[in-house]
Amino acid sequence: MKLTDNVLRSFRVAKVFRENSDKINCFDFSSNGETIISSSDDDSLVLYDCQEGKPKRTLYSKKYGVDLIRYTHAANTVVYSSNKIDDTIRYLSLHDNKYIRYFPGHNKRVTSLSMSPVDDTFISGSLDKTIRLWDLRSPNCQGLMHLQGKPVCSFDPEGLIFAFKLTGPFATFKLQYDRTCEWTGLKFSNDGKLILLSTNGGALRILDAFKGAVLHSFGGYNNSKSVTLEASFTPDSQFVMIGSEDGKIHVWNAESGMKVALLDGKHTGPITCLQFNPKFMTFASACSNMVSVDYLMIAS
């Protein structure tokens, strides 16, 4: 089924999961869309079955804590950043709950973590003002970039690195900077044509990925407490979504810039995490609860 304005307006909450006792920091869908894994301030990693719509397993990282989390290319392994003891990134087997490798190097909190879509490399950005390039097969940092401020970085669909506030090997875009808020997220659309910049204020921007021109700026959602809210493209690159502090989900058409839907996420707090399933007609959002939102067919 193709995503349209009307289809997006028809999405409704399917299930609410209350597996966590504290805020969910991050979650990530597996590439096949069959599972999703979340990380929380309660030191838990919860694995959900998207097809059956239920939790499968809960693991804990009591000693190190768990902040950002990403699937690797194998659906049974993840990398995640820590928020206790140190800022080492850890490579974990979900099958037997054992660490495969550690990636030490950052000395402050990791704020960006992105797996390459084409190989076993990943990048991380930190409050220590560095971006590091890693390979899952080696604990040693493969590349290091020093920046002037907090980095936000991501891979594009072809595995090329883009990082703002950095003179990169491909292109450098200068944007007018709003000093009332910080840029907190950067994502490429799946077709590689657009870049989505999110902030801890009340505004999003879509850029032309080749020219760097600002195509649209989106606002009108609540974020008075300057919370880091995750914004995402839909898999077809046609729509942009973000949650808000009042539990609502705002959706815009990426081409026209028009708001097409306002959905009630049934959340009790700010929606800090939001992603669309890469394969199925569903998306997930999270505060301290995980919510699955599905397409609801409404008979005419």
Asked whether residue 188 is assigned to any structural domain, the reply reads no
Cβ contact 184:200 at 8 Å: yes
* Model pTM score: 0.89
**Segments forming the whole domain that contains residue 3:** 1-24+196-299
Asked whether residue 244 is assigned to any structural domain, the reply reads yes
What pLDDT score was predicted for residue 162? 60
Q: What is the pLDDT along the chain (300 residues), one digit of tens a residue?
A: 789 999 999 999 988 888 888 889 999 999 999 999 999 999 999 999 998 889 999 999 999 999 999 999 988 999 999 999 899 999 999 999 999 999 999 999 999 999 999 999 999 999 999 999 999 999 999 999 998 888 888 998 888 766 554 434 334 444 554 556 677 889 999 999 999 998 888 889 999 988 888 999 999 888 888 888 999 999 999 999 999 988 899 999 999 999 999 998 888 888 999 999 999 999 999 987 777 777 543 332
Asked whether residue 224 is assigned to any structural domain, the reply reads yes
Asked whether residue 89 is assigned to any structural domain, the reply reads no
Asked whether residue 240 is assigned to any structural domain, the reply reads yes
**If phi over 0 gives left and psi between -120 and 50 gives alpha, with beta otherwise, what is residue 124?**
beta
Beta strands in 82-189 (DSSP E): 89-93, 98-103, 110-115, 121-126, 130-135, 138-146, 153-155, 161-163, 183-188
Distance of CA 35 to the CA centre of its chain: 15
- Cα 6–Cα 27–Cα 268 angle in degrees, nearest 5: 70
Distant-in-sequence, close-in-space partners of 109: CB < 8 Å, separation ≥ 6: 67, 81, 83, 87, 126, 127
What pLDDT score was predicted for residue 163? 53
Cβ contact 49:280 at 8 Å: no
Cβ contact 79:88 at 8 Å: no
Asked whether residue 262 is assigned to any structural domain, the reply reads yes
What pLDDT score was predicted for residue 299? 34
CATH classification of the domain holding 253: 2.130.10.10
**Strand pairing of 35-40 and 44-49?**
antiparallel
What pLDDT score was predicted for residue 212? 83
Asked whether residue 200 is assigned to any structural domain, the reply reads yes
Distance of CA 267 to the CA centre of its chain: 18
Domain count, the chain: 1
Asked whether residue 86 is assigned to any structural domain, the reply reads no
